[in-house]
Structure 1
């Protein structure tokens, strides 16, 4: 049987990964080159959760990370013809490609993830208290 502690622990791990991904997005809001040094802006990541079917018994299941996906949306373009990384030809000539990251959206996602984290810590505390009370009654 999967315990409430296992369910909450799996949620804590999942939300931690989500917060780390969000903080990576915020940290790379101004990154204009990829790991290979090409003039390609950072592409934001987002976490996809799924039910942890491996431990599911009696309708109770935890959560696990399905994958961390890369957002494939177009970058934001700003006209900066004097910038050293400005596009030199084509439709976007004179523009600089910036990551398509909305700071407000990232903050709201981070707030949601931290609240979910706090809620699961609360569940763990309540479960520990109930277990402690049960043991004191039985003793």
Structure 2
């Protein structure tokens, strides 16, 4: 039965990770027009326990995009400098939508596998009860 619980642990870590990724994507989309906002991303790394990989993942720290912020000419903007420019956001809406779709599909794949493992363990328990 430990194989089932190990599989459920790995799959739930994937769902947690993709949930975090979706939260960052949503935050990026919400701030697409925020001056000076830098895109946030997270990287996943293999979870290690006792010197060996467990198969699960863990989210690393939030990383801010190091790309150059676009300069926007708007002399009326309160953040504009003497020449009338201010820093825009480096969030690309198309990229965020693609990331959101990828995270959603990955989450759904993990969920389907989670349900399958759960069904298999239930069926095994039913067989063992006979």
Given the two structures, how large is their TM-score scaled by the length of structure 2?
A: 0.87
1:96 matched residue in structure 2: 86
Q: Unpaired segments of 5 or more residues in structure 1? A: 33-40
Question: Matched residue pairs, number?
Answer: 126
Q: Distance in 2 between matches of 1:85 and 1:49?
A: 35
Structure with the larger helix share: 2
Q: Does 1:54 align with 2:55?
A: no
Q: Unpaired segments of 5 or more residues in structure 2? A: none
1:36 matched residue in structure 2: none
Instruction: Identify the match of residue 11 of structure 1 among 14, 30, 39.
Output: 14
Is 1:44–1:71's contact at 8 Å kept on the other side of the alignment? Answer: yes
Change in CA separation of 1:47 and 1:26 when aligned onto 2, cut-off 3 Å: same
Tell me which stretches of 4 or more aligned residues in structure 1 moved more than 6 Å: none
Q: 1:56: Cα distance to partner?
A: 7.7
Q: 1:70: Cα distance to partner?
A: 0.9
Is 1:55–1:61's contact at 8 Å kept on the other side of the alignment? Answer: no
Query: Could you give the per-residue CA deviations for residues 41-70 of structure 1, whole angstroms, max 9, x where no partner exists?
Result: 11111001100012786x651000122111
